[in-house]
Amino acid sequence: MQADLLSTVPLCSTVICNMSVGPINNMDFLTLFAVYVAVVLTCIVLVCKYSGQQQSPLTILFDCLAKIFGPITPKWLQRFSQGTMHKLFHQRSNMFIYIHILLEVVVYAEFTYEVFGYCQDMDTTLLSLSVPYILLAVKTLFFFLCIKRDPGTVTKKRIPSQLQVYPYDGRLFHPGVSCPTCQLVKPARSKHCRVCNRCVQRFDHHCVWVNNCIGSQNTRYFLLYLFSLTAMAATWMRMASSSQQDLCLLCSIFF
C-alpha cells in the first residue's frame, strides 16, 4: 500500500506542475507581447517597403472598400476617413506615439500582474525584478530623444558645415544639385522627407513610431532605443521562463 502511494507522487507532481504552469504558458501578457511585436514589425516592413510610393496594400484595400461602400456612405464620413488616413500616413502625426505608449502600458500591466507575483513568491531578488522597469526607463529616455532631437535638418545656416561632412560620390549624389522643394543645395547623403517636408542630412528613414526622421543627429539614439527595446523583451521572456521552471521545481519538492 505504501509503495502504491509512493508511486503516485511523481504523477501528482506532474499533474499539479502542469496545472500550475498551464496558466503561465497561456499567460495573457505573452499574447499581448506577440501582438505588440507583430504590429510593430508589420508597420516597419510596410513603411520601409512602400515609403514614397503611391500604391501600397493599404491604399489598394482602401480603394476596394471605397468602391464597395462608397455609394452607401455619407459624403461627410468619406471626407473624414480620407482626411484621417492622409494625416496618419502622409503627414506628421502623434497617433502612432500614442498607440506605442498604449501597447506598452497594457503589456507592462499584464506582465506585472501575471509574472511579477510569481517571481516574488519564488524569492527572486529585488534587483532581478526591477531590471525590466529600469530598462523601461532607459528605453523611454531614448524614445523621447528620438522624438525631440533634430535629425539633421538642412538649413541655410547649416549648409556650409553640412557640405563638408560627406564627399559627393558622383553616382547617387552630385555637387550643385538643389532640392526643388526646399530650394537649398543638397549635401551628400541627404534626402527630402515628404512627410516632414524638409531635407535631412544622412537621411535613413521616417519612423512613424517616433513621428520623426532618423538622420545624422538622432541615429545613435534610435539604435540605442532599439537595443533597449530588445533587451527589455528578452528580460520579459527570461523572467517568464524562470517562473515556469521554479514552479515545476517547487511542485516536485512538495509533492
Average confidence score pLDDT of the chain: 75
pTM of this structure: 0.63
Cell of 110: 499584464
Residue 222, classified by CB atoms within 10 Å of its CB into exposed (0-12), middle (13-18) or buried (19+), is buried
Structure confidence at residue 14 as a pLDDT band (50, 70, 90): very low
pLDDT at 141: 92
- Residue 24: closest CA among 230, 239, 234: 239
**Residue 213 DSSP label:** E
Cell of 116: 511579477
pLDDT at 62: 72
Residue recorded with cell 507522487: 9
- Residue 233: closest CA among 98, 23, 33: 33
Q: Using one digit for the tens of pLDDT, what is the confidence trace for 206-235? A: 888 888 999 999 999 999 999 998 888 777
Dihedral angle at the C-alpha atoms of 105, 126, 116, 240, nearest 10 degrees?
100
- DSSP assignment string, 64-128: HHHHHHGGGS-HHHHHHHHHHHHHHHHS--SHHHHHHHHHHHHHHHHHIIIIIHHHHHTT--HHH
Asked if 248 is an active-site residue, the reply is no
pLDDT at 242: 57
Q: Is the pLDDT of residue 126 over 90?
A: no
Q: Identify the active-site residue in 207, 213, 248, 251.
A: 207
Q: Is the pLDDT of residue 103 over 80?
A: yes
Q: Which of 38-47, 100-109, 136-145 has the highest mean pLDDT?
A: 136-145
Q: Using one digit for the tens of pLDDT, what is the confidence trace for 156-171? A: 898 888 888 888 888 8
Least confident of 19-28, 96-105, 218-227: 19-28
Give me the residue spans of the domains in the chain: 23-52+92-153+206-254
